[in-house]
A = this chain, B = another copy of it.
Amino acid sequence: MGTVGTGVAKILLDTQGRHPLLQTLEIAKVGVRSRKPRRIDLPESLFTTDLASIVTDPDIDIIVEVIGGLEPARSLILQAIDHGKHVVTANKAVISRYGEEIYEAATAASVYVMIEAAVGGGIPVIAPLKQALSVNRLQAVMGIINGTTNYILTRMQNEGGDFEPILTDAQALGYAEADPTADVDGLDAADKIAILAALAFGGRIKRDDIYCEGIRNVSAADITYAETLGFVIKLLAIAKLPDSSDPDCIQVRVHPTLVPVSHPLSSVNGVNNAVLIEGDPIGQVMFYGPGAGEGPTASAVVSDLLSIAASLATGQNPDPLLTCSHSHMLSILPNSEVVTRLYVRLLVKDTSGVIGKLGTCFGQHNVSLESIVQIGIQDGLVELVVVTHEVREGAFQKALSEIRQFPEVKDIPSLLHVL
Closest-CB distance, A308 to chain B (whole angstroms) = 11
11 contacts between A and B (CB under 8 A): A122-B282, A122-B285, A132-B299, A133-B299, A135-B303, A135-B306, A136-B299, A282-B289, A313-B320, A314-B318, A315-B315
Closest-CB distance, A58 to chain B (whole angstroms) = 23
7 closest cross-chain pairs (CB), A and B: A315-B315, A281-B295, A285-B289, A132-B303, A124-B132, A19-B134, A282-B299
Contact of A286 among B289, B307, B313 (CB under 8 A): B289
Spot the interface stretch: A10-18, A355-363, A386-394, A397-405. A10-18
Taking the complex as formed, is A7 at the interface, i.e. its CB lies under 8 A from any CB of chain B? yes
Taking the complex as formed, is A49 at the interface, i.e. its CB lies under 8 A from any CB of chain B? no
Interface, chain A (partner B; CB < 8 A): 7, 10-11, 16-22, 116, 122-124, 127-128, 131-137, 244, 247, 264, 267, 279-290, 293-296, 298-300, 302-303, 305-307, 310-311, 313-321, 325
Asked if A123 and B285 make an inter-chain contact with CB atoms under 8 angstroms apart, the answer reads: yes
A132-B300, A279-B299, A285-B287 known; 5 new pairs, CB 8 Å cut-off, are A11-B281, A19-B321, A135-B299, A283-B295, A313-B317
**Copies per assembly:** 2
Contact of A290 among B134, B283, B298, B315 (CB under 8 A): B283
Given contacts A281-B294, A281-B296, A315-B314, contact A307 B321 (CB under 8 A): yes
| Cα(A247)–Cα(B18), bound, Å | 12
Contact of A303 among B131, B244, B298, B325 (CB under 8 A): B131
Q: Which single residue of chain B is at the shortest CB-CB distance from A290?
A: B283
Q: Please, which residues of chain B bring their CB within 8 A of the CB of A122? A: 282-283, 285
Asked if B287 and A287 make an inter-chain contact with CB atoms under 8 angstroms apart, the answer reads: yes
